Each structure stands twice: as C-alpha cells, then as structure tokens.
Amino acid sequence: MSNPAYERLVQRHLRMHRLGHLQSIAAWDQSAFMPPKGNDARAAALAEVGGLLHEMGTAPELKTWLDEAAAEPLSDFERDSLREMRRAWDARNALPPSLVEAISLATSHCEHAWRTQRPANDWSGFLPNLKEVVRLQREMASRLSEAQGLSKYDALLDRYEPGMRSADIDRVFGDLRQWLPSLIQRVMVKQSTEAVLRPEGPFPKSAQRELGLAAMQLMGFDFEAGRLDESAHPFCGGVPEDVRMTTRYREDDCLPALMGVIHETGHGRYEQNLPREWLGLPVAEARSMGIHESQSLSFEMQLGSHPGFARQLAPLLQRHLGAQPAFEADNLHQLLTRVKPGYIRVDADEVTYPAHVILRYEIERALIEGEIECEDIPALWHAKMTELLGLSTEGNYTNGCMQDVHWSAGLFGYFPCYTLGAMYAAQWFATMRREMPDLDDRIARGDLIPVFDWLKAKVWSQGSRRSTPELVQRASGEPLNPAHFRAHLEARYL
Amino acid sequence: MSNPAYERLVQRHLRMHRLGHLQSIAAWDQSAFMPPKGNDARAAALAEVGGLLHEMGTAPELKTWLDEAAAEPLSDFERDSLREMRRAWDARNALPPSLVEAISLATSHCEHAWRTQRPANDWSGFLPNLKEVVRLQREMASRLSEAQGLSKYDALLDRYEPGMRSADIDRVFGDLRQWLPSLIQRVMVKQSTEAVLRPEGPFPKSAQRELGLAAMQLMGFDFEAGRLDESAHPFCGGVPEDVRMTTRYREDDCLPALMGVIHETGHGRYEQNLPREWLGLPVAEARSMGIHESQSLSFEMQLGSHPGFARQLAPLLQRHLGAQPAFEADNLHQLLTRVKPGYIRVDADEVTYPAHVILRYEIERALIEGEIECEDIPALWHAKMTELLGLSTEGNYTNGCMQDVHWSAGLFGYFPCYTLGAMYAAQWFATMRREMPDLDDRIARGDLIPVFDWLKAKVWSQGSRRSTPELVQRASGEPLNPAHFRAHLEARYL
Ligand SMILES: [Zn+2]
Ligand SMILES: [Zn+2]
C-alpha cells in the first residue's frame, strides 16, 4: 500500500457506509412499514447508530489521516476523493457538540409544536419557538462563516449546495424575478380560454400502484435494486444498492401520485447509478441537493410534462385506470401544465413554483444575516406574495409563513436548491437539444434512452468527483444560466 | 448507584440491544422485501454490525464487570440478571476466534453445496463437506465440554436448551419410543375408516392473507406491535417491541399457510409479551428454543388442532375462502388431525413428528460423542425409519438423511427442542385443565383469554429469570413428564 493514510481513510469510510446502510433501511421501514408501538425502540436504535457514526466520523485519528494523506502521492481521483472526505469531516466537526445538541432540541421542540400550531393559525405561539431556532442557526452560521471565510448565509447554503454563493443566487433569482410575474400573467391569460377535462375517479389504490410501477418501468428504474412502497410523506431513501421509494395515494385524484412517483424515480435513478467502484466513499455520493433535484425535475418536469411524453403516459393511464376522455394525450398534457398562483409551495405548478422559492430565499437570507427579525416575517411574506403572485396572506399564517416544516426543522439554506434544481434541469435539456436536434421527436416516440444515457454520463456517474459549478460547466459547457429555464417555460407555456 | 459494575453491564447490554434491533430489522427485510441486487451490500452491513456486536460482547472490561458485579449487594432479580449476562458472555467467549471462523466457513460451504446436492440425491458429494462440519463440531463440543464439565453432546445441547442433559432426554424420549410406534399404528387403523373431504381450491393469496390476519387476531396478536409479511422460509423475527412474522402461500392448499401463521403467532406473542421493564437485558429474552417451541405448538397443536377450536376456525375459512363442505367444523378438525407416516419431518403430523426427532437425536448424539461416523448415517437412518415409521430410505438421501439443513448448518443439539416443545406444551395444557376444569368448553366457545393469561403469567412474562427445569416446575408443579404428551395424543387421536 503506497498511501497508508488514504487507505485507512477508505477503510473507515467503508465501515461507516455499511453501518449507514442499516440506518437507512431502518429509517425507511419506520416510515413505510413499522407499526406504531415499535417507534420508541426504533428511535432509540437509530439514535444509537447515529451516535456511533458521529463518533467514528469525529474520531481524532481521522484528522491525522486526512493531514497525512494530503502529503501522499495520490492520483487525481484519490485527491478528489480526499477533498470530499475532508468536506464531510469539516461538516461533522465544525460545531461544538453542545451547539449541535441545542439545535436538535430546539428544532424538534419547534417542529413538534408546529404540527398543531399550523392548523390553528397560531403565529404568536409559534414565534418564540422559531426565534430560538433562528438564534441557534445564526450562531451556527457565525461559527461556520468564520471557519470558512464565507458570509453567514453562504456558510449555511454551502451545506446543501457546495460552492454556491448568495451572489450567484442573487444573479439568477434576480434575473428570474424580472420576467417571472409577467410570464405568469401571460400564461394565465392564454390558459383562461382553454377547456380542460378533469379525470373522473375514484381511482383505487391498487390500480394507481400498478400505474406507478409501469411509469417507473418506462423511466428505467431497476426493480432488482429497489422498491416502491407507501408512506405518509413520499421520499426516496434506502441505499444506492437498494433504493426505497415511497408515495401516497388519493383515491379522488390519480395525477399527484403518478407525478410524485416519476419525480422520486429521478432521485432513485441518480442513486442507482452513482459510481459503483467508489461506493461507500464520500466522493461516490450524490453531488448536492440542487443537483439531486435537477434529476427529479428532469424526470417530472422536463420529461414528465413534455407534450410528447403525454403520448407515452396516456396509454398507461388508460390501461391501469380505464379509458376516459381526460386521459387523451392532449388533454393530459394540458392537465399537467395548468398554471395557477396558489398559497402552497408544494402544490405549485412548474411556473409559479420559483416565486415561492424566491420569497423564502429573500426572507431567510435577511433573517440569517440579521437584517430582519422573526417578527417581520408575516408582513414580508404578505408583501412578496402580493408582488410575485398577486395573493394576500394577511392574517393567514397556516397557508402563509407557517406552511413549510423547513424553518422549524432548522433547514436554512435549503429552499434555493429547489429552484436551482429546476434551472439545472432546463440547462441539461437545452444542452441535450443542442447535441441531439431530434430530441423532442425521440421523447415523443418514447425513445428515452438518449436522455438517460446523457444524464448517466454527465451527472449520475460523476458522484461528487467535481464541485457543482465544475459539474455544470463540464456537462453543459457554461455556468448556470437562467436563460435556459426562461426559454423552457416560454416554449412550453406561451 | 450502589452497584456500579452491574450498572455498567446494564448500559452495555442496552446498547447492544439497540444495535441488535437494526440487525434484526435488516435481516427481516432481507428475507421479506429486499430486491436481489441489494444482497451483497446487505450481507456486508449485517456482517459489520455482527462484528461490532461481537466486539462489544467480548470486550475484556465486560469480564471485569461480571466479576466485580458478583461481589456487589445485588437484589434477587439482579442476581438472576447477572447469571444470564454471564451465560451470554460465556457463550460468546468460549471459543477461539479461529475456530468460530473455521465453523462459519465450513457450514456455509456445506450448506451452499447441499442446496444442489440434496435434489441430486448426491450423498457422496455431500459426505466430505459434512465430515468437515462434524469434525469442527466435535472440536467445539470438546472445548465447551471441558469448560463446563458436561459431556460433549450435552455441551452442544446446552446452547439451545440450557440445563437440559441427554440423560433427561434419554428418559423422556426413551418413554416415548416405547409407546409411539404402536400408537401410530392404532391411530392409522382408526382413521382408515373415516371419510374426510379435502378443500377444493384454488385459494388466492390475498384471501389467504386476510384469513391469516383474522386468525392472528383471534390468537391475540398485537398488530400495533408487529406485522405479517411473506418470505420463502416462514419465520418470526424482528424485535420484542416490533415482531415481524412471515409466511408463504400455496394457491392449491389453504391449510399450510393458516396453520403456519398460527404457529408463528405463538412465537410472536411470546416475544411481544416478554417482560418490558427489563427489555434489552439477557434476562428478558425468551428462555430457550424448547420453551419457544412450546408456545408455537401451544398455539398450533394444543389450540389450533383442538376439536373445539375447529368451531372457531371454520367460520373464518368460510368467510375468507367461501363456504364448502370441507370447511365444516368436524371435517376441518379431521383434516387437521390426519396421521400418516412420511419421509419428511417438516411435513409430519403431530403424532409422527416425534419419531423424526428421536431418530435425529439418537444419530447426532452418537456422532458428536464419537460412537459413529458420518459414513454410518444412511444405514442408521434407514434402520430407524423402518423401526419407528415402517418406511425404507435405502438409497433415498434426498428424502432421508439429507432432507434437513440443520446438520449442514452445524446445528447439532437443536433437533430435540422440537419434541421437548411439544411435550412442554402438553404439560402446560394438562396443568391448565387441572386448574380450570372447564377449559375445553371455554376453548370450544372461543374464550381463549384464560389460556393466554396462563401462558403470559407462567411463561411469557418470566423471560429468562429461571432455568428451564425451574420454569417447568413452577409453571406445572412437576418436572418435564412425558405422560402428559402421551395422554394428550391418546385423548385426541384414539
Ligand atoms: Zn425531490
Ligand atoms: Zn417454531
């Protein structure tokens, strides 16, 4: 072994990967199958392995090995791998355990209370809890910012989208902000004259499940290396070697589960196609939150809501749920591209969704940088909703600033990734169209292999070998460019 | 804390219990849900946590704490608890790691080859692998026997049925051997004049699953603390807080899955009702293999095949699979009590089953004590099958001495527990009848609470607080007595 320190790091990470496997599967089971009385024992078991992994990941010898390995004659790949090991080490070791514990207590307290405060529209009950969460997030941001030489908000953002800075986001969201509200208005006017048929239910769960499985098949999911089950909150979990997707079904509407499954299949195929030969090392993990979302949105939006793709989906719907006029390809495409400003981010369409994210980004950045206080949130929320989507949220906390769990859970810096993902996805497809001029015809013919091959080559198989900006540059030949997202929306909706 | 060493032992065992939880759930998932390509990663993850648990359970400080705790002013309960901790420690530390590894290699090699050798009737291919397994089992038995002052076979038996000795088994199996063959003959003669209707299928899986769930409900299974799923080899796994039972379905026959589910429910309720306040300590675990089987056989045989119980099962079958004459209570009872000597242990009825176990016990005891060699097995098997069941296995290895996986897997000392369980179960019900003279009427009325309450008080809630002989004495007022099993069989079958 010519690089003993690097080799030791590899062995330690493989060991953590194997224990993390059990953690992931047990967490999936907790959401998908566990009966209620199992919860206390499961929580204790997950905390135990979580503590163990933290111990292994913060052990002092790791730091020694990281320093020693830096002086070893590593290959280019090993050097990238070492960079990601150090990144993971920094993330685990940057904060004093007392702060980590305080954050964990404050967020679980805030989140727990939020579950009843939100339906009760109880902002004044929620406010002190949120203030405590924000106080601790600011403290965390200060510490990380000092260690990394970043602004406070950037230090949080970097945890979810490494290398991304608020200056970049200001640039791309600033661009978006200029044309999005008027685009929404124009699309609304255009669509106001279109008659669209709603599917008539009920749609039994078992038929919807079969439909979802058929869609996953169409999208190339490897069923020998993963499953689809049910849970209250859909997610894509498990491990790269065995991906566990979940969805939930509404018997009165068949499209949310179907499009949800297609979305999660994008996450799932990314995980299934991460580089095998490095599996277990940080460098083999998915690059970032935004890049992950660029895959789910490539599947759900770029492909799933493509006018040609509706010709692939329509026969599946007819086969599994019975034929009805609403399931004709053209009507189906119209259903999947309805645009309507609404209060709720998670229910938003492709065009209005970024408005929800811009609003949250502007508020949370100012909050973390200390430019505003929690008390200012409702007024800002109302003002920005009015400005961006023409909706008032005065006095409406339930469907206003209390709608999402993210802030209660301390996930500041996470929201921008949703819209970054949408923009990356548009950029991927713009690049593919440049390289394959007949791409849209192929999609309409159901020939999706070129799309999957491209994503696999440019994104999936790369793991975390490159930083996000470098990955974007290599894949598309340019940095993140909001013009592609704009062109995509205008082409599809105008 | 007045007993610091004992307290440290408690904390260590609770920690192992929490990690063991993840191991159990991941192992269950591997059998019930895991897609094939997940297997390598799962095997590596299970090996990792298995190694970690072994490390924690053989750590030298544990030995120090065990010795120190013995001198602490423990309560009676703590003393029992300490005894079981020491028992678990001895079991993990008695063998040198090199022998453990050699056994693991030899058994997995033998078992793997057996999977194809058995259907090919390939005794000569199997023999050298088995000889290596037996050689290592003898070495293990020698070491354990020296450490514990037991005979070689008793040292192996003690791993599955603590406190049980081959002298005891000789006594009870010797008794059985005298009357069993003639009892089988008399039952066969009696049943030869009875006309029994076979159920007519097919029986869809989904309906059989609903039937199984209804039977579990009838048997008091707590669905808030457990589940029923499918696997190739039915088992009862998971953890006491969250019991994971599995079964398999044959569409042409509905009784195997139903009775299998009832059997596993007995195992499951034992686990669900282990003492909660000590959970995680060895003293809270199920007492032994034989006692565990006494619960599954209490459910499957004592209750499940009780003539009165057929009146409870019949309406369930009719409701879930449709009414047919074979599902009338009397005919159902006859179906569940058919006696017919056969080659295969796992397919045997309640009356002929002990013959299969006696045969294996006699051969494996002689093998481990060095009185015979592996080459002698087929002739002995044939002679004993002829003697006990009137069946020749000359040249038939597939359905003769190669039918079970136990010996390939190195499970010498395990077979007797099946019949010990049947005898314990008969003794439990004899005791209940003495204490509750109207027991059989209650069972026929579907009033099963007294049975469950008795089992809970005398067995489930006891965990491993007492040795098996002490548990039997306390529960039934006498040592294991084969007369109860005989009386049970004669009353039910003659
Ligand atoms: Zn997503
Ligand atoms: Zn059993």
Cα dihedral across residues B286, B290, B293, B295: positive or negative: negative
Compute how many other C-beta atoms are within 10 angstroms of the C-beta atom of residue B215.
Answer: 24
Q: What is the DSSP letter of A299?
A: I
Strand order in the sheet with B226-230: B226-230, B242-247, B236-239
Please tell me whether residues A329 and A186 are part of one structural domain.
yes
Check whether A293 is labelled as a binding-site residue.
yes
Joined together, the tokens standing for residue A481 give 């460019």
Please tell me whether residues A188 and A309 are part of one structural domain.
yes
CB A219 within 8 A of CB A265: yes
Q: What is the DSSP letter of B303?
A: I
Do the domain assignments include residue A191?
A: yes
Q: Which residue of A has its CA nearest to B229?
A: A33
Please tell me whether residues A236 and A327 are part of one structural domain.
yes
d(CA B38, nearest CA chain A) in Å: 5
pLDDT at B484 over 60: yes
Of the candidates A93, A117, A132, which is a domain's last residue?
A93
Q: What is the DSSP annotation of A180-198?
A: HHHHHHHHHHHHTT---PP
Q: What are phi and psi of B170, to 5 degrees?
A: -55, -40
Please tell me whether residues A74 and A223 are part of one structural domain.
no
Strand order in the sheet with A226-230: A226-230, A242-247, A236-239
CB B400 within 8 A of CB B382: yes
CB B314 within 8 A of CB B445: no
Q: Does residue A202 have a cis bond before it (omega within 30 degrees)?
A: yes
Q: What are phi and psi of B465, to 5 degrees?
A: -60, -40
pLDDT given at position A317: 98
pLDDT at B336 over 70: yes
Q: What is the DSSP annotation of A417-466?
A: HHHHHHHHHHHHHHHHHHH-TTHHHHHHTT--HHHHHHHHHHTGGGTTSS
- What value does the CA radius of gyration of chain B take, rounded to a whole number of Å? 23
Do the domain assignments include residue A104?
A: no
Joined together, the tokens standing for residue A285 give 């993990």
Long-range contacts of A316-320 (CB under 8 A, 24+ apart): A316/A211, A316/A214, A316/A215, A316/A218, A317/A211, A317/A254, A317/A258, A319/A214, A320/A207, A320/A208, A320/A210, A320/A211, A320/A214
The answer to whether A15 faces chain B, any CB pair under 8 Å, is: yes
Do the domain assignments include residue B157?
A: no
Tell me if residue A346 falls in helix, strand or coil.
Answer: helix
Q: Check A239 against B48: CB less than 8 A apart.
A: no
**What is the arithmetic mean of pLDDT over B218-228?**
98
Tell me if residue B228 falls in helix, strand or coil.
Answer: strand
The residue type of A103 is I
Q: Note the ipTM here.
A: 0.94
Q: What is the DSSP annotation of B475-491?
A: HHSSS--HHHHHHHHHH
Please tell me whether residues B85 and B178 are part of one structural domain.
no
pLDDT given at position A1: 57
Q: What pLDDT, in 10s, does the model give residues A253-281?
A: 999 999 999 999 999 999 999 999 999 99
Joined together, the tokens standing for residue A393 give 């949220």
pLDDT at B69 over 70: yes
Do the domain assignments include residue A99?
A: no
The answer to whether B12 faces chain A, any CB pair under 8 Å, is: no
> Cα separation of B296 and B286, whole Å?
13
Q: Check B45 against A241: CB less than 8 A apart.
A: no
Q: Which of B25, B29, B38 sits opposite A241 (nearest CB)?
A: B38
What is the residue-averaged pLDDT of chain B?
96
Please tell me whether residues B180 and B296 are part of one structural domain.
yes
pLDDT given at position A158: 94
Compute how many other C-beta atoms are within 10 angstroms of the C-beta atom of residue A221.
Answer: 25
Q: What pLDDT, in 10s, does the model give residues B243-276?
A: 999 999 999 999 999 999 999 999 999 999 999 9
Q: Check A225 against B19: CB less than 8 A apart.
A: no
- The residues, any chain, with a CB within 8 Å of residue B463's CB and separated by 6 or more, are B274, B275, B278, B283, B284, B285, B286, B287
> Cα separation of A301 and A352, whole Å?
13
Tell me if residue B25 falls in helix, strand or coil.
Answer: helix
pLDDT at B1 over 60: no
Please tell me whether residues B88 and B175 are part of one structural domain.
no
CB A153 within 8 A of CB A361: no
Q: What are phi and psi of A486, to 5 degrees?
A: -60, -45
Do the domain assignments include residue A118?
A: no
As for how many domains chain B has, the answer is: 2
Tell me if residue B433 falls in helix, strand or coil.
Answer: helix
Give the confidence band of B91 by pLDDT, cuts at 50, 70, 90.
confident
Compute how many other C-beta atoms are within 10 angstroms of the C-beta atom of residue B210.
Answer: 15
Q: Which of A18, A45, A227 sits opposite B21 (nearest CB)?
A: A45
User: How many residues does this entry show for chain A?
Assistant: 494
The answer to whether B319 faces chain A, any CB pair under 8 Å, is: no
The answer to whether B241 faces chain A, any CB pair under 8 Å, is: yes
> Cα separation of A208 and A221, whole Å?
17
Q: Domain of A255: which CATH number?
A: 1.10.1370.30
Please tell me whether residues B85 and B181 are part of one structural domain.
no
The bridge status of strand B226-230 relative to strand A242-247 is unpaired
Task: From B383, B407, B391, select the one nearest B347 (Cα to Cα).
Answer: B391
Q: Which residue of B has its CA nearest to A41?
A: B241
* Partners of residue A227 in chain B, C-beta under 8 Å: 33, 35
Q: Check B45 against A22: CB less than 8 A apart.
A: yes
> Cα separation of A220 and A449, whole Å?
9
pLDDT at B311 over 70: yes
Please tell me whether residues A452 and A309 are part of one structural domain.
yes
> Cα separation of B260 and B247, whole Å?
7
Task: From A231, A289, A301, select the one nearest A265 (Cα to Cα).
Answer: A301
Angle at which helix A353-368 crosses helix A377-389, to 10 degrees, equals 150
Give me the domain span that covers residue B216. 167-493
pLDDT given at position A2: 83
Please tell me whether residues A204 and A69 are part of one structural domain.
no
- The residues, any chain, with a CB within 8 Å of residue B397's CB and separated by 6 or more, are B118, B121, B122, B123, B126, B378
Joined together, the tokens standing for residue B64 give 């120090």
Tell me if residue B119 falls in helix, strand or coil.
Answer: coil
Residues of A recognised as catalytic: 264
> Cα separation of A208 and B19, whole Å?
37
CB B84 within 8 A of CB B283: yes
Of the candidates B29, B59, B93, which is a domain's last residue?
B93
CB A50 within 8 A of CB A312: no
Do the domain assignments include residue B104?
A: no
pLDDT at B219 over 70: yes
Of the candidates B64, B93, B122, which is a domain's last residue?
B93
The bridge status of strand B242-247 relative to strand B226-230 is parallel
Task: From A253, A486, A257, A191, select the one nearest A351 (Cα to Cα).
Answer: A486
Check whether A267 is labelled as a binding-site residue.
yes
Cα–ligand 1 centroid distance for A290 (angstroms): 9
Q: Which residue of A has its CA nearest to B21?
A: A45
Please tell me whether residues A88 and A185 are part of one structural domain.
no
Check whether A488 is labelled as a binding-site residue.
no
* Partners of residue B30 in chain A, C-beta under 8 Å: none
Do the domain assignments include residue A152?
A: no
The answer to whether A44 faces chain B, any CB pair under 8 Å, is: yes
The answer to whether B37 faces chain A, any CB pair under 8 Å, is: yes
CB A114 within 8 A of CB A405: yes
User: Which stretches of chain A drop beneath a pLDDT of 70?
Assistant: 1
What is the reported pTM? 0.94
The bridge status of strand B236-239 relative to strand B242-247 is antiparallel
Please tell me whether residues A89 and A195 are part of one structural domain.
no
Residues paired with B245 in a beta bridge:
B228, B236
> Cα separation of A432 and A259, whole Å?
23
pLDDT given at position B2: 83
